[in-house]
Structure 1
Amino acid sequence: MNNRIVAALVLAGLGVGYGVAQLHPAAAVGVKEDKPALYWYDPMYPQQKFDKPGKSPFMDMQLVPRYAEGAAMQTPGVQIDPRQAQNIGVRLASVTRGVLASTLDVSGILAFNERDVAVVQARAAGFVERVYARAPGDVLKAGEPLADLLIPEWAAAQEEFLALRHSGDNGLIAAARQRLRLSGMPAALISRMERSGQVQSVLTISSPLSGALQTLEVRESMTVAAGQTLARLNGLDRVWLQVAVPEAQGAALRVGQTVRSRFVGLPGQVVDGTVSAILPATAMDSRTVQVRVELPNPDGNLRPGMTAQVRLAQSSGQPVLQVPSEALIRTGKRVLVMLAEEGGHYRPVEVQTGAENQEQTVILSGLQEGQQVVASGQFLLDSEASLKGVTAAEAAMNMQPGAQP
């Protein structure tokens, strides 16, 4: 009877041990793994690797070994049956090559063209006899009068010239005429004096160009000195559009590129221009690049101070690799894509990205034309790869010819 009880207990013990061995083969007594382990890891934190077995510091469980032979025999990444991939919504997209044409919408403010400026100064000391009805902000045509100046020293020089003109000495006459020019007398005033034979001591200063009168610093009866600034004007034939472009898009700007602008005060009207200058300094408060756009203004409808919506057309110029922006996995430190390979294999690949436009992103490195990337469902595949301890760097290393695990 005792022998039967002992035999039953032995059989029961063997059965329990067999069951444990089936659930945890590595923990079964007498089972030894001859394959060398690369490292040990916690399946819940596969990115952390350990050089020896033991209990996980993260979870209450034993570390799992990753074997060299097994790693070498498997394709790095994850493998999913095509039917299952369809069920979970995996969608692929091709890596294509083409010219990336993009547009950038920003705002701008009109300003005067600082290259089209005229400064009116007194040619000689004198007095203001008359000021015409002008005020800053007036739009003038070229040649419109601003003020009349009486210049006494010109009267004496002209009387001397008129007296020498009757002498018949051409040398003296030429020298006297040159002296008039050097005194600052305009050629038109000298010609009028010669034709009339009378002293012309009053000079009418006028607008040298068509544009807006910015300043007018003359009043009747005031005294002016030689070289004193009397007025300042800005031309309006072409105006500047000051545009602030975010610093991140500043590298793609080029002088001469096309700009299309729409103004709030001119509904339905589109004005095309070109980038004339990209200023060298970046605005510190807004971190923007200041761009100057030159616009034609033949009708004078564009007034400095007006606001505009600006669209800058950009192009990569050369064909570049592109993938859909939705295929990118941005971790904060790097950018990944899930590369689709034959047999339902997927592996993470780290890429370097460039410009982005119209839901397409330029790939600078990491992919080749014609490859397939996962455009939908990539986050599920990346999570599965992370659970298996597969990283982009490790997958790339294992895919190299002759690489050792």
Structure 2
Amino acid sequence: MQKKQLARTALVVFGATALLGVGYLAGTYRATATGSASSAMTSTSGDKIDPKTGRKVLYWHDPMVPNQHFDKPGKSPFMDMQLEPVYADEGGASGIKIDPGLQQNLGIRYATVRRQETTEGFDAVGTTQFDESRSDVVQSRVTGYIDHLYASAPMQRIAKGAPIASLFVPDWLAPQEEYLALKRSGMDSSMLEASRVRMRTLSIPDGVVANLNRTGKAQTHVVLSSRETGVISELNVREGAMVAPGQTLAKVAGLSKLWLIVEIPEALALSVQPGMTVDATFAGDPTQHFKGHIREILPGISTSSRTLQARLEIDNAALRLTPGMLMRVRVGGQKAVSRLLVPSEAVITTGKRSVVIARNSDGRLQPVSVTVGNDVGNETEVLNGLNDGEQVVASGQFLIDSEASLKSILPRLEGGAGPGPGAPAPAPAPAPASAAAQTYETTGKVEKVTAEDITFSHQPVPALSWGAMTMSFGKPSPTAFPDVKPGDTVHFVFKQSDNGYQLTKVEPVGGVQ
């Protein structure tokens, strides 16, 4: 019996020894494998290599805190998860890469930056006005009465040669009868010529004298007509009214030629000279162009609009324009200048700067800050930021710019060139006011409390698509939430900030903290 117990004891000791040996061998093999894996992370050239994929690794990071880079793999210090690698073939290239199918769905078009000789010029606005140099003044040279008034009211349109008023002049009767009497009496030509001179002195028109010779009847009525096609800008008489010599009966403003008054911004006042070409269009018919040359620069700057006025004459023979129309004006320069041009629709203006989406040689798209100059038709001059021959996105750039903001490309532009692989990433772009005010909440157990943050094992956060995890959240100040201790179950509220996720409220379940 005693021998059997001794045998059993020996078997137990032997089994325990065998298990210890197997555990030692397994531990040794695991350590060897780990060591070989660690050595595989660095190539002979010093590059970090992912042993699973064989790809070159730039750094490791936590996707929840992408701006913090790590040189080695491991567990994230921010939450309960492993760091993820960022590969050289995707993280080192600047810009973002968009699938060709997605580019087609977004309707992305490309345009080539080109240099072109264009005349120095700028866009402005202008207003049409009556050409005062073509105003016709209708006056009476004799004393008479308005026998019939053909014009009824001011601003009435009138054609060239159309009658305005019929004037009865009784003083014309006596000299005409005297002339007819001399002619019937057979007086010599000198007496007749003296009588004709007297009639001209009394402002009897030559046409009336010629008609007197032909018909032998005196004429006491004269019709005053318009010498311009336009509108009656003034009408100062009525039927039956008496008029005196030199009295203005009406004024006719011509429409065959108009003045165009161009409003030139004060900043461009020194660059405008007489003789510069002007191409004007009207919104009602943008296909028709009215061209001319600046005739004169009017003195003085408008105190209300801070503009300088330039005046020119434009042809309106078709009478399509009327005074007071607002025209879009392109003032051209007198000499050609070489400019770098991009389509105007490719430029995104934020208010503080101008951005275009450039296409890199590898097909990636990257926002580029540019300095823009004047518009040249449907194109915009680029003074700095692009080179001749580069390609830019001419449509869909707002969607790409939003995607680039998510990739933190736009903040890198603020600091100049993008950081190198080993350089720390810059801070993300400031979130909009609506995003900064967004808060999230959940419940969790306090694992650790420091002066800088509190670590929770928290429940899922559906608003952020987070599952249950262990994660650290920053405190607004070192003295915030003094009563929170490890082991407490709390309900907490947090928001996203430039330094990660920050707590705004921590309250134990059933009470306020």
TM-score category of the 2 structures, normalised to the smaller one: 0.5 to 0.7
Quote the Cα distance in structure 2 between the aligned partners of 1:160 and 1:85: 111
Unmatched 5+ stretches in structure 1: 1-82, 90-94, 333-351, 386-405
Counterpart residue identity of residue 280, structure 2: V
Give 1:31-180 correspondences, 5 Å limit.
Answer: 87=94, 98-101=116-119, 104-132=122-150, 134-165=152-183, 166-180=185-199
Distance 1:233 1:174 in 2: 36
Q: How does 1:281-320 map to 2 (within 5 A)?
A: 281-290=300-309, 291-292=311-312, 294-298=314-318, 300-305=319-324, 307-312=325-330, 314-315=332-333, 317-320=335-338
How far 1:293 sits from its partner (Å)?
5.0
Q: Contact (CA 8 Å) 1:271, 1:295: kept in 2 or not?
A: no
Percent identity over the alignment is 28
Say which of 252, 269, 275 aligns to 1:233. 252
Task: Give secondary structure in 2 for the equivalent of 1:226.
Answer: coil
Matched, 1:248 2:267: yes
Shift of 1:140: 1.8
- 2 CA distance for matches of 1:312 and 1:261? 12
* Aligned CA-pair RMSD: 4.8
How far apart are 1:225 and its partner, in Å? 1.0
Higher relative contact order (CA 8 A, sep 6+): 1
Cα drift, residue 182 of structure 1: 2.5
Instruction: Report how many aligned residue pairs link the two structures.
Output: 281
Corresponding letter in the other structure for 2:132:
E
1:185 CA drift (Å): 1.5
Of 289, 308, 314, the match for 1:272: 289
CA distance in 1: counterparts of 2:341 and 2:281, whole angstroms: 28
Between 1:231-240 and 1:311-320, the stretch displaced more is: 311-320
Query: Please, which of 280, 302, 309 is the counterpart of residue 259 of structure 1?
Result: 280
Report 1:181-200 matches (<5 A). Answer: 181-200=200-219
| Secondary structure of 1:100's aligned partner | strand
Shift of 1:362: 8.1
The correspondence of residues 246-395 of structure 1 with structure 2, limited to 5 A, is: 246-250=265-269, 251-252=271-272, 254-263=275-284, 268=285, 270-277=287-294, 278-280=296-298, 281-290=300-309, 291-292=311-312, 294-298=314-318, 300-305=319-324, 307-312=325-330, 314-315=332-333, 317-320=335-338, 357=376, 361=381
Instruction: Name stretches of at least 5 consecutive residues in structure 2 with no aligned partner.
Output: 1-89, 97-112, 353-370, 391-408, 418-513
How far apart in 2 are the matches of 1:129 and 1:381? Answer: 82
What is the CA deviation profile of residues 338-377 of structure 1, one whole-angstrom value per residue up to 9, with x for unaligned ones?
Answer: xxxxxxxxxxxxxx998565776587xx9xx99x9xxxx9
Displacement after TM superposition at 1:169 (Å): 1.1
Task: Give per-residue Cα distances to partners, 1:103-145, cap 9 Å, x unaligned.
Answer: 7444433322222211110011122223235221221223322
Contact 1:120-1:231 within 8 A present in 2 as well? yes
Shift, 1:269, TM fit: 5.6
Cα distance between partner residues in 1 of 2:288 and 2:119 = 21
Distance of 2:148 and 2:375 partners within structure 1: 63
Q: Rg larger in 1 or in 2?
A: 2
Corresponding position: 1:219 with 2:238: yes
Preserved contact between residue 122 and residue 374 of structure 2 (Cα < 8 Å):
no
Match of residue 92 from structure 1: none
Tell me by how many angstroms 1:323 deviates: 8.4
TM-superposed CA distance for 1:97, in Å, is: 6.7
Deviation at 1:316, TM superposition (A): 6.2
In 2, Cα distance between equivalents of 1:141 and 1:382: 65
Structure 2 contact 301–308 (Cα < 8 Å) conserved: yes
Cα distance in 1 for partners of 2:327, 2:160 equals 32
- The TM-score, its normalising length taken from structure 2, stands at 0.44
How far, CA to CA, are the matches of 1:150 and 1:139 in structure 2?
Answer: 25
SS of 2:336's equivalent in the other structure is coil
Q: Counterparts of 1:384 and 1:236 in 2: how far apart (Å)?
A: 58
In 2, Cα distance between the equivalents of 1:236 and 1:315? 28
* Corresponding position of 2:72: none
